């Protein structure tokens, strides 16, 4: 396993990228880039966390402003929480787990950052 900015194993640092959604994604991305380690696994998971959960927040805000959306929000919140837990598990066990389309873009960007 390669070194990370926080001297953690790649899989642990990757899982931490998802813990607080885009906030932890931004934090891990910033420190990984600044400390000079530029670990691709951590950068990928941080970028994917920012994109996926940033979109979740924006979608939730847009739907919440519409009338009669209580059921939609309950189902969406349940699905996003399951996705959140699954991404943490996958980052911890595999290191890189790509969400279709978004994952390819994030991996390309993380590899370019090296």
1 pLDDT above the threshold of 70: no
Longest Cα–Cα distance in the chain: 50
Does residue 2 fall inside a structural domain?
A: no
Does residue 86 fall inside a structural domain?
A: yes
Does residue 26 fall inside a structural domain?
A: yes
Does residue 41 fall inside a structural domain?
A: yes
Domain count, the chain: 1
113 pLDDT above the threshold of 80: no
The pLDDT of residue 39 is 92
CB 24 within 8 A of CB 17: yes
Whole-number mean pLDDT of the chain? 93
pTM flag (> 0.85): yes
Does residue 4 fall inside a structural domain?
A: no
* Helices (H), ranges, 1-114: 10-19, 22-34, 40-64, 70-94, 102-112
Q: What is the pLDDT of residues 9-47, one digit of tens each?
A: 999 999 999 999 999 999 999 999 988 888 999 999 999
Tell whether the torsion through CA atoms of 22, 28, 30 and 33 is positive or negative.
negative
Q: Domain of 70?
A: 10-112
Does residue 93 fall inside a structural domain?
A: yes
């Amino acid at each position: 396993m390669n070194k990370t900015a926080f001297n953690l194993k790649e899989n642990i640092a990757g899982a931490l990228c998802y813990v607080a959604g885009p906030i932890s994604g931004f934090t891990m991305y910033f420190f990984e880039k600044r400390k000079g380690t530029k670990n691709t696994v951590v950068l990928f998971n941080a970028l994917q966390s920012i994109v996926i959960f940033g979109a979740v927040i924006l979608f939730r805000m847009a739907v919440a402003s519409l009338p009669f959306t209580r059921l939609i929000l309950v189902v969406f919140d349940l699905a996003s929480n399951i996705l959140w837990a699954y991404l943490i598990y996958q980052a911890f066990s595999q290191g890189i787990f790509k969400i279709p389309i978004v994952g390819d873009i994030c991996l390309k960007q993380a590899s370019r950052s090296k």
